[in-house]
Structure 1
Amino acid sequence: MFSVLPLLSGLLLAAASLTPSLIPRDWLMQGALAGISMAAGYLVTLFVLALWRALQIPVLPRRWANLAHAILAIPVLAILVRCVALSDDWQNSIRLRMNMPVLEAASTTKMILLAAAVFVAFFVLGHGMLALFNLLRRRLARYIPAASANVVGLLLAALIVVTITRDGVVNWALRVADRSYAAAQHLTDPSAAAPEEAWRSGGPGSVIDWDLMGKPGRDFVSGGPRAAAIADFSGRQAKEPLRIYVGLAQDTLPERRAQIALEEMIRVGAFDRKVLVVASPTGTGWMDPASYDALEYMHDGDVATVAVQYSYLQSPLALIFETDSGLDQATATMRAVYDHWRQLPATARPRLYLHGISLGAWSSMYSFNPFQMMNEPVSGAFWAGPPFPSELWRQANSARQPDSLFILPEVDEGEVIRYASQFAPADRLSRPWGRLRILFLQHASDPIVFYSPASLWRAPEWMREPAAPDVSPRLSFTPIVTQLQLAVDMLVSTSTPPGFGHIYDAEEYIDGWAAISVPSGWTDNDTARLKARCGKDGLIGCRNG
């Protein structure tokens, strides 16, 4: 039933998949990964053998082939047994660094059973593809030579499978997900009534419809610290922070949504504040409260933040399928805000910052136009967890000092661009900042940042460096497998505790905002006090203490 050589290749890749990567995996994810890796090894080897035969290249006689298989099976099975025995230790080597509980001993058995089930499912699917190939090559052989029929049949079968998967299954799943998330966005909590204050988006006189804002927007607008809590923290008079949010359902055009946001900003006096932030949400429209709460505390509430939603999808899906939507919306919003901002007298303008987290960081970076802003630059940008395709992030990486790390580069003298992590704050450099301050906050264990498409065949550059404190020193590279591991890591990148993977916590935002926005009279003691206050609520931010 099974071909021996493909099966041995599959077992070898399954063994390699047990090695650690960036994010710790439980038995469920590890079992799925091992099964997929085994199927990938099996199907790739089967494909190569089919192509070999299609080209009518000579093969070993059956007796010699069986002997070769028996010899190969010994080291493959030995490697598999060793990897299974060490798999829990490898996963725990990451868990301990992230302060996570270690795996249970029984998880290994469940993982093996799941891996076998996943492999069988893919094996059946693979045989269906093989049957399609055989059908096509036999039909083609009636009209063209057998060798050509084999090659053309193989290519046609692959094309049919890719087309059905991409244009059929994937698009169908995307439509279902989009409708589901859209429906969820419009489920308004009866207790979440529209605000009564005129200065809040969705309140009396607002040009933004509260019911069209979506749950992430309503949560953002109605949340955050109030002036009394901020004044209690600082001992100074404080203002009510302004939060402007336009939902995706507000209008079909990104330019129109951006214009509505600008009208609302003018209505509530956002341009009269000391600090103005143009923020880009994540794929679902979520805004991490830990970041915005911290900034509002730092500047006595004299802050206005504007954001416009562009998708209903979770960030990994939006990253793949709705990239242009995010980029177009961020560009339209930034252009509308910046054009109005630069028309104001230079002495009366607020300090203008760009901000985004995850997919929001990518779209925010895309909206940053240095040629447009060269004469009248913004004050800075703070981008957390920048996704790996982000062009500006990649350009900054390529300009790093040769002796600096890929995971924590140093660009020029650090006057304009700096990188920070949970172990390395932005102000660790003794050199002073310049007029424009750009900060990238990233964890070495964040696969959204450090995924590499080239890991299919070569080790990523960061993997050739000494392991960071939150990365297992036992991490290693294996072709195909490392690609699959990093893909799984992206799916579970938010399963870590705060401060690891793709979860950025309040303390990191506080250090970042303190470095780039330079709050008046702010001290290290203020930073420590704010971290203590934010620590009470964890991921939900600083709020009202």
Structure 2
Amino acid sequence: MANMRVGRSLGVSLLPLFLGLVLFAASLTPSLIPRAWAVQGALGGLVAALGYMIGRLLLTLWRALELPMLRGRAALYGHLIAAIPVLMALVLCLGHARGWQNGIRSRMGMELIDTIDVPNMVLVAVTVLAVLLLLGGLVQGAFDRLRARLYRHMPRRTANVAGLLIVIVALTIGTRDGVLDRVVRALDESYTTAQELFDTAPPAPADPRTPGSAASLVDWGSMGQPGRNFVTGGPDGAAIAAFSGRPAKNPIRVYVGLAEADTAEARADRALEELIRLGGFDRKVLIVAMPTGTGWLDPGSFDVVEYMQDGDIASVAVQYSYLQSPLALLLETRAGLDQARALIRAVHRHWRSLPRDSRPRLYIHGLSLGAWASMYGTDLFSLLDSPINGALWAGPPFPSARWNEAMAERNPGTPYVAPQVGESRLIRFASHTQDAGGAQGWGDMRLMFLQYSSDPIVFYEPASFWRPPVWMREAPAPDVSPDLTFTPVVTQFQLVVDMILATSAPAGHGHSYYARDYIGPWVAVTDPEGWTQADSDRLAAHCNRGFQQGCDNG
């Protein structure tokens, strides 16, 4: 180790800087989602700063242990020798960066890029690194001043520990109760405005069969834009009949907005009342759904199941947040869980009070954060006396307890991204490359997970800070780059960036779930009467002619 600071004029230690450059080079390797040069620069600057910080900590520990240090000319030569492999790795990774990104893009059917704009990418990285080092220097300066004052009143070692604790507490309180609170309030206000609530809402529908109308028990203004799009969208009976050639009904869609009532229980009761008013329990199929963080429900999922059930279907959902799903997951964790449990309990309580031979088949559904919340709300033990018929959970976030339990039971030898559980009678997994297995061979309940192998929301792993996720130790899936490799620290932050970019992937990859890929799972779970593979193929083509995420305008 070297004690001298060859880079004293720059105010940095060279060996920690070399470690930062190594991590920057590693950050250029591919992960699950393609990255633009600006994002790559920010990621590279962040991990370089972390590498520098880790290097400084290691140097401090080395000195604290009073281990031998290189000095003078030996230290100079040591720095030069260490710099050679670092620079070679940096040049090598920069040279391969474009090919690595194009490798992911080609597997996702995206247009290839001609360049990654290395100069601008490096400029962004250096800027991020400099800002983080400056902030680190300010924190270090505050710590040094504080412990110098404490030296007057206590032993040096005690002062060092006390000073460190005080700085940590001050930073935690300042960011949590200061900056973070302001950010959350600003985000909440911006997303609330985007919902077009009350005075800014468009005119209410005139049809009394539409939630939010004058005859409805649900307030149109409180529903928000995602809810209004849901209840007024989708195929009607005429469109379904034109597709199937059979008589069809108008599907029932019920949605209650977050602003409808102050408590999760009140909103759930209002949704149940509206569902009863519209005759939802007289339909053949009933779906209880949880939306994503902002209240959005994927039209591609509901459209296809309404087509295959000839419109004889009702769906009900309740909003629990205005924030984007990642923010709602971090900042409003309980809101979604409490709302899911309240809604599922309310609907299930009324459903099980009905005669068994005349009540609809009951299913649970959710995408992303909606999947996580609805899994939590589906207490299978409390449903043992009157079990639901099944569930379809798409893009389940990695913390989802029921998903983790299912993954833990996967059959040995089956891929982590496309597992099989037992004889596939209770739990099945489907993806864009793995068939849902059809409607045969199930037990009394059907639980289906739809997940893409390139979805970081599903396959992120917190332990990737120090060890590779299970799926990285297996053969890569078709839309995952074979050049993806594990690097401690770096892989963690690559996957975090992937989660942020997850919905930027083209439909059918990442966290962008595609209407066509819901067809097989819904067929397997709901077993529509008289449905054939030819019908699935026609519906897939029908969706492809419509818009990318749904198929009601096909």
Is the structural similarity TM-score above 0.5?
A: yes
Where does residue 457 of structure 1 map in the other structure? 466
What does 1:465-484 correspond to in 2, within 5 Å?
465-484=474-493
Q: Within the alignment, does 1:534 sit opposite 2:543 as a pair?
A: yes
Whole-angstrom distance in 1 between the partners of 2:116 and 2:353: 66
Whole-angstrom distance in 2 between the partners of 1:49 and 1:257: 57
Query: Counterpart of 1:68 in structure 2: which amino acid?
Result: G
Q: Deviations over 1:204-248 (max 9, x none)?
A: 311100011000000001101011100101111111110000000
Q: Within the alignment, does 1:179 sit opposite 2:189 as a pair?
A: yes
Q: Within the alignment, does 1:117 sit opposite 2:134 as a pair?
A: no
Whole-angstrom distance in 1 between the partners of 2:199 and 2:139: 48
Query: Counterpart of 2:133 in structure 1: which amino acid?
Result: F
Where does residue 534 of structure 2 map in the other structure? 525
What does 1:361-372 correspond to in 2, within 5 Å?
361-372=371-382
Whole-angstrom distance in 2 between the partners of 1:190 and 1:50: 59
Where does residue 273 of structure 2 map in the other structure? 263
Quick check: 2:235–2:306 contact (8 Å CA) kept in 1?
Answer: yes
Quick check: 1:88–1:108 contact (8 Å CA) kept in 2?
Answer: no
- Report the alpha carbon displacement of residue 131 of structure 1 after superposing the two structures with TM: 0.6
Where does residue 166 of structure 1 map in the other structure? 176
Q: Within the alignment, does 1:94 sit opposite 2:104 as a pair?
A: yes
What does 1:298-337 correspond to in 2, within 5 Å?
298-337=308-347
SS of the equivalent of 2:286 reads: strand
Query: Counterpart of 1:339 in structure 2: which amino acid?
Result: R
Quick check: 1:497–1:503 contact (8 Å CA) kept in 2?
Answer: yes
Structure 2 residue runs without a partner (length 5+)? 1-10
Whole-angstrom distance in 1 between the partners of 2:103 and 2:19: 27
Quick check: 2:256–2:271 contact (8 Å CA) kept in 1?
Answer: yes
- Report the alpha carbon displacement of residue 44 of structure 1 after superposing the two structures with TM: 2.3
What does 1:249-260 correspond to in 2, within 5 Å?
249-260=259-270
Match among 193, 217, 223 for residue 213 of structure 1: 223
TM-score by length of 2: 0.95
Q: Within the alignment, does 1:506 sit opposite 2:539 as a pair?
A: no
Going from structure 1 to structure 2, the CA distance change for 1:155 and 1:47 (only over 3 Å counts) comes to farther
Where does residue 281 of structure 1 map in the other structure? 291
What does 1:55-204 correspond to in 2, within 5 Å?
55=64, 57-58=66-67, 60-63=69-72, 64-105=74-115, 107-186=117-196, 192-204=202-214
- Report the alpha carbon displacement of residue 187 of structure 1 after superposing the two structures with TM: 5.3
Match among 444, 447, 451 for residue 456 of structure 2: 447
Structure 1 residue runs without a partner (length 5+)? none
Q: Deviations over 1:492-540 (max 9, x none)?
A: 0001110000011011111111111111100111111111111122334
Where does residue 8 of structure 2 map in the other structure? none
State how many pairs are aligned: 543
TM-score by length of 1: 0.97
Quick check: 2:293–2:320 contact (8 Å CA) kept in 1?
Answer: yes
Q: Deviations over 1:353-380 (max 9, x none)?
A: 0000000000010011111111221110
Identity in percent: 53
**Aligned-CA RMSD value:** 1.7
Q: Deviations over 1:285-329 (max 9, x none)?
A: 000000001111111111100000000000110111111100000
SS of the equivalent of 1:74 reads: helix
- Report the alpha carbon displacement of residue 428 of structure 1 after superposing the two structures with TM: 7.0
Match among 326, 335, 339 for residue 349 of structure 2: 339
Q: Deviations over 1:126-164 (max 9, x none)?
A: 111111121122112222222333343234323332332
Query: Counterpart of 1:496 in structure 2: which amino acid?
Result: A
Whole-angstrom distance in 2 between the partners of 1:487 and 1:478: 14
Quick check: 2:36–2:116 contact (8 Å CA) kept in 1?
Answer: no
Going from structure 1 to structure 2, the CA distance change for 1:168 and 1:343 (only over 3 Å counts) comes to same
- Report the alpha carbon displacement of residue 3 of structure 1 after superposing the two structures with TM: 1.3
Quick check: 1:22–1:471 contact (8 Å CA) kept in 2?
Answer: yes
Query: Counterpart of 2:119 in structure 1: which amino acid?
Result: T
Match among 396, 415, 422 for residue 412 of structure 1: 422
Larger deviation, residues 339-348 vs 374-383: 374-383
